[in-house]
């Protein structure tokens, strides 16, 4: 996928979300914005504002395989955890392309034992501020970490994994990341779930084709918004 098509896909994803959120009825957009702002106020964070990929401080090669930062709907992770029927206290949560860290906060609220976000852009710094702000309000010890690094160099922790991906990157970066996950699970077998959110936000079939090529990802829950895969190398 060339850079122009990637940027168009990222733009279409953002436009689709905004149209869906704000175009349903008169005043719906204002209510949507109220909910977003209320979430940030409640947890003392700043996660609501979209950041387009052209504004991110990364090199052109990386930008060509990245998408806009769009915050994940706050009800989705609890729903996915329920659908997967797992005890989050037994898993390490990993958000691939974690942006401003909204999902890291939501994962803590869901009860995950250890939480790691991986983000290439300067949004990592926003995530770190959000983590500190949330930790100050939580009143309990938290194991939440945001790492600024190329996701293809990330080493998956040697423990049960709950991995989340929301179309933050694609192309060779996604291919290598999935292969790294497979190799990690092959070398150290353990329970692992992989959640892909945003199936209908991406206008092309390339992501579907990418996941289909990685046969170790076996769909166990499929909805209009997300798929939960059981990650199990044969």
Q: What distance in Å separates the CA atoms of residue 43 and residue 102, rounded to the nearest whole number? A: 10
Q: The whole model's pTM is what?
A: 0.86
Determine the pLDDT at residue 81.
97
Q: What distance in Å separates the CA atoms of residue 37 and residue 97, rounded to the nearest whole number? A: 22
Task: Write the pLDDT tens digit of every residue in 34-73.
Answer: 788 899 999 999 999 999 999 998 988 888 889 899 999 8
Confidence of residue 12 (pLDDT cuts 50, 70, 90): very low
Task: Write the pLDDT tens digit of every residue in 157-209.
Answer: 999 999 999 999 989 999 999 999 999 999 999 999 999 998 776 655 778 88
- Three-state secondary structure of 140-197: CCCCEEEEECCHHHCCCCCCCEEEEECCCECCHHHHHHHHHHHHHHHHCCCCEEEEEE
Q: Concatenated DSSP letters for 16-46?
A: HHHHHHHSSSTTHHHHHHHHHHHHHHHHT--
Structure tokens given for 72: 């994940």
Options 2.140.10.10, 1.20.1050.140, 3.40.50.2300, 3.40.50.150; CATH for 3-231 is 3.40.50.150
Confidence of residue 14 (pLDDT cuts 50, 70, 90): very low
First to last CA, the chain: 30
Task: Write the pLDDT tens digit of every residue in 130-151.
Answer: 999 999 988 888 999 999 999 9
Instruction: Count the helices and strands in the chain (H runs, E runs).
Output: 8, 7
Determine the pLDDT at residue 74.
87
Q: Does the pLDDT of residue 6 top 60, yes or no?
A: no
Task: Please state the φ and ψ torsions of residue 41, each to the nearest 5 degrees.
Answer: -65, -45
Q: Side by side, which strands form the sheet with 144-148?
A: 144-148, 114-119, 92-96, 161-165, 192-197, 226-231, 217-222
Q: Does the pLDDT of residue 225 top 70, yes or no?
A: yes
Q: Does the pLDDT of residue 8 top 60, yes or no?
A: no
Burial class (CB in 10 A: 0-12, 13-18, 19+), 234: exposed
Q: What's the average model confidence in pLDDT over 210-220?
A: 95
Determine the pLDDT at residue 140.
83
Q: Which of 9-23, 57-71, 76-90 has the lowest mean pLDDT?
A: 9-23
Determine the pLDDT at residue 19.
45
Determine the pLDDT at residue 29.
57
Task: Write the pLDDT tens digit of every residue in 88-133.
Answer: 999 999 999 999 999 999 999 999 999 999 999 999 999 999 999 9
Determine the pLDDT at residue 204.
57
Cα–Cα separations (whole angstroms), residue 183 to 38, 106, 218? 41, 28, 16
Domain ranges of the chain: 3-231
- Reference 211, options 194, 191, 225; nearest CA is 194
């Amino acid at each position: 996928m060339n850079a122009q098509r990637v940027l168009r896909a990222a733009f279409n994803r953002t436009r689709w979300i905004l149209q869906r959120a704000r175009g349903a009825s008169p005043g719906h957009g204002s209510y949507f914005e109220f909910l977003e702002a209320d979430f940030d106020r409640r947890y003392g964070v700043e996660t609501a504002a979209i950041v387009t990929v052209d504004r991110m401080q990364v090199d052109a090669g990386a930008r060509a395989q990245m998408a806009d930062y769009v915050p994940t709907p706050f009800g989705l992770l609890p729903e996915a955890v329920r659908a997967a029927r797992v005890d989050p206290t037994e898993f390490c949560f990993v958000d691939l392309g974690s942006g401003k860290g909204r999902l890291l906060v939501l994962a803590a609220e869901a009860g995950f034992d250890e939480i790691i976000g991986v983000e290439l852009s300067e949004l990592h710094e926003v995530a770190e501020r959000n983590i500190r702000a949330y930790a100050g309000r939580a009143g309990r010890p938290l194991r939440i970490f945001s790492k600024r690094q190329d996701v293809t160099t990330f080493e998956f922790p040697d423990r049960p994994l709950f991995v989340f991906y929301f179309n933050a990157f694609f192309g060779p970066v996604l291919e290598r990341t999935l292969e790294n996950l497979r190799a990690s699970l092959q070398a150290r077998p353990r329970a692992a779930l992989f959640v892909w959110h945003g199936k209908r936000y991406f206008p092309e079939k390339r992501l579907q084709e990418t996941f289909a090529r990685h046969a170790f990802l076996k769909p166990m829950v499929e909805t209009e918004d997300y798929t939960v895969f059981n990650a199990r190398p044969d």
